[in-house]
Structure 1
Amino acid sequence: MNRVRFGLQARFLIVMGLAFALVVAILLLLLQRQTRMQAEVRTLSGAIIHDLFDRSLRSRGEALATELADSLVNPLYYSDLDQVGALVRNTSRQQVVSYVRVFDREGRLIHDGSVDITGYGQQMQDPLAAQAIGTQKLLMQWSPDVLDVTMPVMMGPEKIGGVRVGMSLGRVRQLESGANETLLERLAEVGKRDLGWLMLLLAGLAVIATVVAIYIQRTLVGPIRWLAQAARQIEAGDYAVERRSSVRNDEVGELIRAFGRMSESIARHDREVRHMAYTDALTGLTNRLAFRENLDHQLLAARNSGRQLALLFADMDDFKRVNDTLGHEAGDEALLQFSARIRVAVEELGGDEALLARFGGDEFVILVQAGDVREVALRLADRLVEDLGKPLMVEGREVFLGTSIGITLFPDDARDATALLKNGDIAMYQAKVAGKNCHRSYNRAMDHAVERRVHMEHELRGAWERGELRLVYQPIYRTSDRQMVGVEVLLRWQHPALGAIPPSVFIEVAEQSGLIEVIGPKVLRAACLDAIQWPMPPGAVPLFVSVNVSPRQLRSGEMADTVARCLRESGLPPSRLHLELTETAVIGDEMLAASLLDKLHRMGVKVWLDDFGTGFSGLSHLRQVPVDGVKIDKSFVADLQRDPDDLALTTAIIAMAHSLGITVVAEGIEHEVQYQLLRDRKCDLGQGYWFSRPVSSMDLVRMLGGMA
């Protein structure tokens, strides 16, 4: 036989239904008998009674005045004062009538009901008399004391006089007040009777509520309190909750049993959750959260013991290029190899207590705690720079990344975790500024350097719009006949407060902040607009204009569209535009560079490789990324006459470039002997202070005019 289950929900609904029915009954009685009959009636009855008395007064006054006017026609016409007086006195006996006045057509008093008629024949002068005398129909006028009802006495169409009946407002208000008092007495009697019923119902509700409260306490509140206490215990991290058996066959019993199973499951999974929360999913290293908690703990212990700590902040160089060119899966593979090399170095040199964590992205942090932490940190940084500078094999390709490392010490450099991490980040940034793939130790001067860089970046934003940035042009000559054939565009910044800022300073800031992606297209467009306006001597070849392109512009993928737009807006022939790419930018992503060069060549734009010889490529890379020309870096040209190695290398570059059909340009020619050596070795073009310093567009126009 199946046992009928009478669950908590059913019991609760029945009890609450009864309580609700009682509450509704009490509320209905209260609202119906108390609120509606007392509050609303008291509020509205006065207004209703007042309105009734007011309308009654108007109606009564109108009836008396009309009836009296009809009765006065003949007596007034025949001047029968006795009859007039009798009619007036009869009307004046009414309880609410204050006065009755009969007057002739000119407004003179004929009778007021008195025996001697003291004002007989006199003009009525009271405030309401003027309108009463002039009215041709029923007129009601109010004063603070009376309602004056005037009715003209008509003999056919002719007005022979009028009658005024003054209805006493004071007497009416007395009657109205009496009626209100009677109504309130009746309401009070009803209220007393209803109050008795209300108290009886409230007493019954109190008894029922007590019974329901006891019932709910035993069946619901008690178990829920136990569950809440157990939940707080779990919340505090104590999962050893005492199991509470229950034989109840209702929802609370099921809840207690389910809660017991849940607490066991939470305890079982807590260690797994903590492991996931404090571990980097990709590399398996400690993550930012766990490292920060551990760092706070170690700093507290170090303060108490007087120990030193060293923190190394490492950031992969050019990691974004891997993601952009090879994809994120390749980036993850590079991160795994990178973290494995760091782990090995830390295990070998960092000591047993060293802590390694991945902070996210391509950032890694190492905490050194044992031994001479300064010496250990320096050795570890040297090892990391060496190991991480070696190529990684990612998807069958060699990838060169390297790392920039910042080193900071506790308590020498900072006394809390936030400042320590900030200083490590600053030192790491200075390592990147120093050329990447190196390490730098934090010092106070770095804070000022960062502040200056931030200030310069802020000032550089909008410098073009403010007219602080301007273009100058350095002429490029043929070495064979010293004929000017083109110019290189150079950017200059004249700050109103800081003065002339070297390009080597602000161009780097623009590169690192991304502002170069905004400034670069503006420089290209302005150079094209200037070039199209330069006059050409008769028979001379129009000058080409050479514009430098930053690696960030190259990686953006929009370079070809930007060039096409500038050529279209300026009208400059594509053959007169040369773009200069740095050797390191081309080597960093040969596939992207080759695709861009192909698009530019199809437009008719020429591409030169700038600063050739300073990278690690050599001419072999020119086969994968064909260019129209290479510019020998000025560092080679400077020592041509003194250093046989530089002369030999420059000679080899010229010869091999010519064998590939590539034009060679020499930068930084400052002496005639340098020019002679380059001309003798068939260097095609040259530029430098020996030929001409950079000039403005207007000065260049004057130079061209002198060549005519």
Structure 2
Amino acid sequence: MNRRSEHLLIVEDDVDFVFLLREMFRRYKPSQYTFDNALNLSSALDMFEEGRFDLVLLDLSLPDSSGLETLDQMVTLATDCPILVLTGKDNEEISLEAVRRGAQDYLNKSDLSPKLLFRAIAHAKQRKTLLREIEKTKNRFRRTFEMAGVGILQLSRDFTILDVNRKVCELVQLEACELIHEKLASLIGEQTFSVLQQELENAEEKDIDDVRLEVQLHHSNGTEFWALLMISLSDDTHHEEELILVMEDITERKESEEKLRHFALYDSLTKLPNRAMLMQTLKNAIARHHRHDNYLFAVLFLDLDRFKNVNDSLGHTAGDELLVVLGERLVKTLRENDLVARLGGDEFAVVLDSIQSKEDVHNIAQRLLSEIEQPFTLMGREVFISASIGITHCDGDYHEPGDLLRDADAAMYRSKEGGRGRSTLFQKHMHLDVLSRFSLESELRMGIQRGELRAHYQPIVSLTTGQLIGFETLVRWEHPKRGMVSPGKFIPVAEESELIVQLDRWVLCEALRQSTLWLERCENRDFYISVNLSSRHFMMPDVVTFIDKALDDAGVKPEHLKIEVTESVLISDVTRARTVLAELRGMGVQVFMDDFGTGYSSLSYLQKFPIDALKIDRSFVQQMENYRQQADIVELILLLAKKLGVKVIAEGIEKREHLSILKELGCDAGQGYFLSRPQPPLELEGGLAKKMEEWLEILGG
């Protein structure tokens, strides 16, 4: 759909200057603007009465009017149109006074450039829009809020209800006459009212601008609903006779958050708790053990032996079925207070709660192994499988959940080395595996210095048009002896040390260098390159400065770079994250939230951050055609993103079916092996033209 051209009125008697303006518009914004020219104020006022204009460029020195009087007359007539004043070099005071009297901005005619012109136009329109919204809020407070679907209560200082709008009546299912003159406590309940009062007192003491309280209220028939109560506190609140309380029904949002929270804490395939819930459970168990010496627990790390054979011989559907049945068996074998979690793939973890001895743990592990060795019926065939278990006991003076899991993992590998189908208790000498990781870290450090890192690029494609819109940068390590090292091996090692920052920065600079080459050679420059930032790097004090300098050194405009961060990065320090995001946005660099759906997935958190796009985690995308719930999750994420006004990119598109479902659901863009695998630049360039034709054929229709 073609965008409507904006109609400008240029009120200027200097025809040469008007010609200069027209040339700027024609050259830099050829189809965005149309304009009329008035040589004097009288003609301008006549034109304004006869037609509609989106913006006025007004010279204050005209044949029939001059100075601020010119502006006053135009402001009186153009009440809803932004005005941009054109002034001379020495008219700074008049220019500022013009802004105070109704102009949105001013331009110095003697120092005009396209950049200044279009920035001033954008600022003028934005400022006029903001002023218009402020005016609407003042003059049409009730109507505005009712159209937004929220309830408004006018309260006296003693919290007597003075007035309510229609939405309040709908929410609580009472008539206005039944609410007015009643105390607020009678509507929201004494306990909720006490909490609200306390929050108001705290806010006033700490000079907080507003109070927001999410509470459960009751309809008149007794049914519950979730509501967000909001009271704004201005500097004049102490002197005002009344308070305004806004009541918004957030039941749907809370239900959506609860669903996403469930998805974030439970494995979608087996319905067992996932790694996130496991880590929280372990954290609580460790804390309890340190408080009470007599409380003991243990962790079992369970990995299936030769599970890949099941997938290869019977297919992934059978493999998934086996994992589901296995999860059910584990739960039935254990006590109610024990926890079984799926870590991913064919890995499971068990937390044994309130154990008596290490012998008990060993016996439970043996029962689990025996249960796993019972035959599974898959696709009409009887299948046998075994597992290896590693055990850690809480008496190892553990303080971090990850350490418990790490040592159980090391013990599990010792079980596999010992012949599989067995359990092994962790011993400290198993830390040799840890030493191996240290060795890898040292080699990675040298590899970065020796230039062994390689950048591969995976195209990101619009699912609406089939056009290429960007590339995600992925790092690879070409080791001189090990060959190509999997990112899954060296990135966790880098994340445990400061190497992740070096790695991040190398990837960023390399991506921008490559971007420069492509931008120089490509006719279509409407694409971006995205780069992932680790938590450690994102929270560093100089991260924004480094990105700004890297862009400047490469000569790449900020709009060609996107930064990807995960939910956990943002949640780790909300205040710092908001600051960094705001600074990046101020530079013109957009930020994508990566792996969305695998972490907190809270709408209330997302609203705190200026995020430009969500990237749906591959785990949801890859099971959409087999599990309706996965498609429902994707659809829910798309709906949430639409409410937030952000784009959605799907990762892990490996089949045409994935593409079809995502396109049908209205997903904006996607990436994955079905579209293109990550490749080095030269290899990517060699086949990109053919790939782009395929994308257009599949998606462009």
Both structures adopt the same fold (TM-score exceeding 0.5) = no
Q: Higher strand share goes to which structure? A: 2
TM-score after normalising by structure 1: 0.41
Instruction: Name the larger-Rg structure.
Output: 1
Q: TM-score, normalised by structure 2?
A: 0.41
More helix by share: 1
